[in-house]
Structure 1
Amino acid sequence: MGGSVSCCSSGETPKISRREVELEECPITTAEDVSEDTGTYLQHISDRELPDELAQESNPSDHPRASTLFLNKSQTDVREKRKSNYLNHMSPGLLTKKYSSCSTIFIDDSTVSQPNLKSTIKCVALAIYYHIKNRDSNRSLEIFDEKKHPLSREKVPDDYAVVDPEHKLIYRFIRTLFSSAQLTAECAIVTLVYLERLLTYAEMDICPCNWKRIVLGAILLASKVWDDQAVWNVDYCQILKDITVEDMNEMERHFLELLQFNINVPASVYAKYYFDLRSLADENNLSFPLEPLGNKRAQKLEAISRLCEDKYKNMCKNAMRRSVSADNLIGLKKSNAVLS
């Protein structure tokens, strides 16, 4: 922050864009150049902040238009799979995928507001898997090291820091926590947002030695922020019976500090992560469950659509009434002005 050189002049000249001014043509302002009338020069906040393009690239968990980290990490494997399928003339998933026809209509109950729990957890586990597999380095912190802070009394293997976990192992770990704590699918998406925000803010990587504790910390924080009835730290100690409450508290405190206490997840960012998880599922043949549209389901959809239509009509009527009332009030004021 504050990587640009600021210029100021006493004359009233038009403001020039910083991109149009070469760095060597910008004189650095010193204390001698500032007049006594204006006082000490203060750099404008817009000059001290990063441009939007750089901010979006560095903090995708804060900006809805920036691509998620896990989707970028998965592209290497996706390209290799497509190349392999092309060379081998294979089309995996096409025979098992269900398509709607004139006689049968398949619908997906998973929506951005109510995602499918099992499929969402699988996609989040797959996103973490690609984070670990295609990591840039092994930057980590001691608080998340499983060797120094074990989650169980079982001895940590000697190769714990070099062997990448499989997707099934990550899924089982997350599913156990979500099932025991009765967490929602929305909480899983927020967990992934916090995880990527941690990697960006702390400039670290999720790797074999720290992935369990990072995921646990993200789930712990997401459950408290998202769910109305949050799970206490002591409840996680009953799920992971060998971990202590003091360890959970310390990890949560470090997690919050590394996030700079930024736990806000805008709706646009949440929606972006949901749809990117859907894209990740399609690219890896993890399709969300489709069910045929029956009579009961069709009647339910029709009732919901009618309810939404009635709400929309009521909103339009209320808006028209407010508009007519405002016009009448303006006309009344004008008539009073003429009479007076």
Structure 2
Amino acid sequence: MGGSVSCCISPGESPKILRRHVDLDECPITTTEDVSEDTGTYLQHISDRELPDELAQEANPSDHPRASTLFLNKSQTDGWYLSTMFVIVYFYLIVFFFFIVREKRKSNYLNHSSPGLLTKKFSSCSTIFIDDSTVSQPNLKSTIKCVSLAIYYHIKNRDSNHSLDIFDEKKHPLSREKVPDDYSVVDPEHKLIYRFIRTLFSSAQLTAECAIVTLVYLERLLTYAEIDICPCNWKRIVLGAILLASKVWDDQAVWNVDYCQILKDMTVEDMNEMERHFLELLQFNINVPASVYAKYYFDLRSLADDNNLSFPLEPLSNKRAQKLEAISRLCEDKYKDLSRSAMRKSVSADNLIGIRNSQAVLS
């Protein structure tokens, strides 16, 4: 049986997600059964540890599937100015389309009332365009664009500049070039963020699924560590999330020394230290449920629609059509097999209606 611990800190003062380190001198130990003989430190039982708050879990989008993603909320908080401009533009568009519809009705009336050739056209195109992006196989280029846009909105609409020294680019530069004096003030553009992520993904040959997991880890870090991604730390935070996502997601992960060949002025020791701090701040929670992954994918699609970043449409080729037809036939055969097995079970159960159970005598 483990010993009980009495602490001077009330439960209401403990944070929801990030558990702070408590000084052991202020928390007297009532028994000495759980004190290590080698180090003399108190070993806390798993049963004595604090359970995460359910409300905090539901508020964390990287852990709970029903919580709204942070980047989607950041993209929708651009201020009253943009809302007012949207209303004005929307009003002028209504007026513009009103005159277009009026002129079109007038021209259609003149064409139908006067004799001549028919002006109505019928579609004779046999080409079918499909979206070459699914939740299991997203489009790489479009996904990286959406992830970089989500990071851009995180930086643009941040609440503060709270950061940590391990992610500060001034204290831990990624290259030998001199960091500008205004590196912590000027917000990076979307193209700069996209170019940075695209270089890492193309050089390391990472997949689009890894980009989605990178965004999950990034928002989990911001929530757990209670920091903000800002101009002074966005490169190292994104790099740390990519490092962790590539090792968790890909079967053949890229080593840290391989990333040093991409970022030639960065040392392996610095990269290892940053990765270790990243994992500690995540509390070693690297699990990404399928529901959370799907939520981030569809929220990225919504972000793309709101910013006119449509996923590419490709014409349906004969090879792709045959593949889709084969998949549909396979699913149809499986459905027929399941229905047949269900019918057999129901028939076998009907035969048991007239059977009576024999009586048994228990001695």
| TM-score class normalised by the smaller sequence | 0.7 to 0.9
The structural deviation recorded for 1:55 is 2.1
Range 77-86 or range 258-267, more displaced: 77-86
Distance in structure 2 (CA, Å) of the matches to 1:87 and 1:27:
93
Matched residue of 2:113: which SS? coil
Distance in structure 2 (CA, Å) of the matches to 1:319 and 1:189:
39
Q: Return closer, same or farther for 1:267/1:16 CA change in 2, 3 Å cut-off.
A: closer
Distance in structure 2 (CA, Å) of the matches to 1:255 and 1:218:
8
Q: Return closer, same or farther for 1:158/1:103 CA change in 2, 3 Å cut-off.
A: same
Q: Does 1:332 align with 2:355?
A: yes
Could you tell me whether the CA contact under 8 Å between 1:4 and 1:48 is conserved in 2? no
Range 320-329 or range 253-262, more displaced: 320-329
* Matching residue of 1:74: 75
Could you tell me whether the CA contact under 8 Å between 2:18 and 2:224 is conserved in 1? no
Distance in structure 2 (CA, Å) of the matches to 1:89 and 1:24:
92
* TM-score, length basis structure 2: 0.70
Distance in structure 2 (CA, Å) of the matches to 1:93 and 1:229:
69
Report the identity percentage. 92
1:61-111 deviation per Cα after TM superposition (whole angstroms, max 9, x unaligned): 100000000000001249999999999999999999999997443210200
The structural deviation recorded for 1:313 is 2.7
Could you tell me whether the CA contact under 8 Å between 2:169 and 2:232 is conserved in 1? yes
Distance in structure 2 (CA, Å) of the matches to 1:245 and 1:174:
19
1:116-159 deviation per Cα after TM superposition (whole angstroms, max 9, x unaligned): 01100000000000000000000000000001001111111111
Matched residue of 1:207: which SS? coil
Q: Return closer, same or farther for 1:246/1:3 CA change in 2, 3 Å cut-off.
A: same
Range 128-137 or range 325-334, more displaced: 325-334
Distance in structure 2 (CA, Å) of the matches to 1:47 and 1:263:
23
Q: Return closer, same or farther for 1:97/1:42 CA change in 2, 3 Å cut-off.
A: farther
Could you tell me whether the CA contact under 8 Å between 2:3 and 2:31 is conserved in 1? no
Matched residue of 2:269: which SS? helix
1:161-182 deviation per Cα after TM superposition (whole angstroms, max 9, x unaligned): 1010100100011011111111
Q: Return closer, same or farther for 1:181/1:38 CA change in 2, 3 Å cut-off.
A: closer
What root-mean-square deviation, in Å, do the aligned CA atoms of Structure 1 and Structure 2 show?
Answer: 11.2
Q: Return closer, same or farther for 1:283/1:31 CA change in 2, 3 Å cut-off.
A: same
The structural deviation recorded for 1:208 is 0.4
Range 145-154 or range 5-14, more displaced: 5-14
Could you tell me whether the CA contact under 8 Å between 1:2 and 1:49 is conserved in 2? no
Distance in structure 2 (CA, Å) of the matches to 1:124 and 1:15:
27
1:243-277 deviation per Cα after TM superposition (whole angstroms, max 9, x unaligned): 11111111111000000010000000000000000
The structural deviation recorded for 1:279 is 0.2
The structural deviation recorded for 1:48 is 11
Matched residue of 1:19: which SS? coil
Q: Return closer, same or farther for 1:278/1:17 CA change in 2, 3 Å cut-off.
A: closer
The structural deviation recorded for 1:301 is 1.4
Could you tell me whether the CA contact under 8 Å between 1:237 and 1:243 is conserved in 2? yes
Range 192-201 or range 330-339, more displaced: 330-339
Larger radius of gyration: 2
Q: Return closer, same or farther for 1:131/1:319 CA change in 2, 3 Å cut-off.
A: same
Q: Return closer, same or farther for 1:296/1:48 CA change in 2, 3 Å cut-off.
A: same
| 1:264-303 equivalences in 2 (<5 Å) | 264-303=287-326
Distance in structure 1 (CA, Å) of the matches to 2:73 and 2:104:
15
Q: Return closer, same or farther for 1:87/1:100 CA change in 2, 3 Å cut-off.
A: closer
Q: Does 1:202 align with 2:247?
A: no
* TM-score, length basis structure 1: 0.74
Gaps of 5+ in 1: none
The structural deviation recorded for 1:26 is 26
The structural deviation recorded for 1:303 is 1.4
Q: Does 1:315 align with 2:319?
A: no
Distance in structure 2 (CA, Å) of the matches to 1:261 and 1:208:
26
Distance in structure 2 (CA, Å) of the matches to 1:337 and 1:206:
74
Range 84-93 or range 127-136, more displaced: 84-93
Distance in structure 2 (CA, Å) of the matches to 1:115 and 1:92:
53
Range 52-61 or range 275-284, more displaced: 52-61
The structural deviation recorded for 1:2 is 21
Could you tell me whether the CA contact under 8 Å between 1:194 and 1:218 is conserved in 2? yes
Gaps of 5+ in 2: 79-100
The structural deviation recorded for 1:296 is 3.2
The structural deviation recorded for 1:312 is 2.8
Could you tell me whether the CA contact under 8 Å between 1:3 and 1:48 is conserved in 2? no
Distance in structure 2 (CA, Å) of the matches to 1:186 and 1:127:
15
The structural deviation recorded for 1:307 is 1.5
Q: Return closer, same or farther for 1:339/1:66 CA change in 2, 3 Å cut-off.
A: same
Q: Return closer, same or farther for 1:243/1:35 CA change in 2, 3 Å cut-off.
A: closer
Q: Number of residue pairs matched?
A: 340
The structural deviation recorded for 1:17 is 27
